[in-house]
Amino acid sequence: MILNTMVTLRPMLPVDVDPAADMILSHDWGVRREFLAFATGQAACAPMVADVDGAIVGTGVGTLNGSVGWIGTIFLSPEWRGEGIGRAITQSIIDRLESSGARTFVLVATADGRRLYSKMGFEVQTRYRILEAPGLGSGDRSAANAAAGGVRPFEPGDLDAMAALDRDGTGEDRRHVLARFATPDSARVLPGPGGTVDGFVVRAPWGGGATVARSLDRAMAIITERRLKAGPGGRVRVGLLQDNEAGLARLAEAGFAPSWSAPRMIRGDPMAWHPDWIWGQFNHAIG
Ligand SMILES: CC(C)(COP(=O)(O)OP(=O)(O)OC[C@H]1O[C@@H](n2cnc3c(N)ncnc32)[C@H](O)[C@@H]1OP(=O)(O)O)[C@@H](O)C(=O)NCCC(=O)NCCS
């Protein structure tokens, strides 16, 4: 789509990943290369760029998780803001996801983004609270080992049960991401009765750790195992919804401190989910 004589919106291609990531990094909005490379190769993702004479001045990524579409990494180079390009990128992602079956759209908004998305019909659904704690050292190990009991490395046969738990927890179908990233090194599983899975964490290559667990105790087992693995020099980050008051209180007791918070916004059909089963994200353009 040609927005005006200078700006073209088009799907992001693998060849665009380096210039897009460089543009974002040059404005201190984080290291996005690995995520953008993933998005250009994943059928469920709809990555877009705004292009001016071959130079990338804006980005956005949508992800289709069943009937739920995520929108993220909406970024405009500062000199191109206020011209309607951010809105056009967001709308083009909504259109692409909708034509593939999305009925609900969700995103995590910055302060700049919130103004734009409110004008586009998004409403605040809840808030994410991101917390951090140091890993656990030798002094804490025996109690922590007991707390983390039952958590084991991922096995390929876990995938269906993980996807089922994930669907109940998030209200989305993220099997395509779980299948891409879950390996015995990157994922831990807490088995449940009869071949079910009661909790899991799957790390993405860029560092996020999607975590879903059916109860507070099961989530704490997974988080404690992560802290043991990180060791005393490491740090562990979790992301909860503010609806999960019991989880936030337990994590504060366990030494987690708030590091970041932002609204989650929604547009479209309401979703059936369990916000208190969610303890970590892949990132905010996938969920
Ligand atoms: C948020 C961002 C993508 C908006 O892009 P943009 O191209 O400047 O936005 P647009 O020009 O398309 O503006 C769309 C609408 O939002 C409004 N808007 C956008 N930014 C605004 C701001 N900072 N304050 C008030 N209104 C704002 C515009 O007035 C416009 O409203 P209108 O369509 O009714 O006229 C851009 O500011 C940006 O890259 N920010 C840094 C990264 C970021 O925070 N991204 C959002 C991630 S959730």
Least reliable range by pLDDT among 31-35, 84-88, 143-147, 240-244 = 143-147
- Mutational pocket test of ligand 1: of 1, 74, 116, 265, the residue with most ligand atoms within 8 Å of the beta carbon: 116
CATH of domain 7-102: 3.40.630.30
Which atom from ligand 1 is nearest to the alpha carbon of 117? 16
- Mutational pocket test of ligand 1: of 112, 115, 127, the residue with most ligand atoms within 8 Å of the beta carbon: 112
In this prediction, residue 48 carries a pLDDT of: 98
How far away, in angstroms, is 32 Cα from ligand 1 center?
20
Which segments of the chain belong to CATH 3.40.630.30?
Answer: 7-102
In this prediction, residue 137 carries a pLDDT of: 85
In this prediction, residue 111 carries a pLDDT of: 94
| Ligand 1 pocket residues where CB is under 6 Å | 74-76, 81-87, 109-110, 112-113, 115-116, 119
- Mutational pocket test of ligand 1: of 7, 87, 93, 110, the residue with most ligand atoms within 8 Å of the beta carbon: 87
**Could you tell me the pLDDT band of residue 78, with boundaries at 50, 70 and 90?**
very high
pLDDT in tens, 112-126: 999 999 999 999 999
The answer to whether the predicted template modeling score (pTM) of the entire model surpasses 0.85 is yes
Which segments of the chain belong to CATH 3.40.630.90?
Answer: 128-280
Specify the fold of 128-280. Aminopeptidase (3.40.630)
DSSP string, the chain: -B-SSSEEEEE--GGGHHHHHHHHHHTTS---HHHHHHHHH-TTEEEEEEEETTEEEEEEEEEEETTEEEEEEEEE-GGGTTSSHHHHHHHHHHHHHHHTT--EEEEE--HHHHHHHHHTT-EEEEEEEEEEEE---GGGHHHHHHHTTT-EE--GGGHHHHHHHHHHHHSS--HHHHHHH--TTTEEEEE-GGG-EEEEEEE-TTS-EEEEESSHHHHHHHHHHHHHHH-TT-EEEEEEETT-HHHHHHHHHTT-EEEEEEEEEEEES-----GGGEEE-S-TTT-
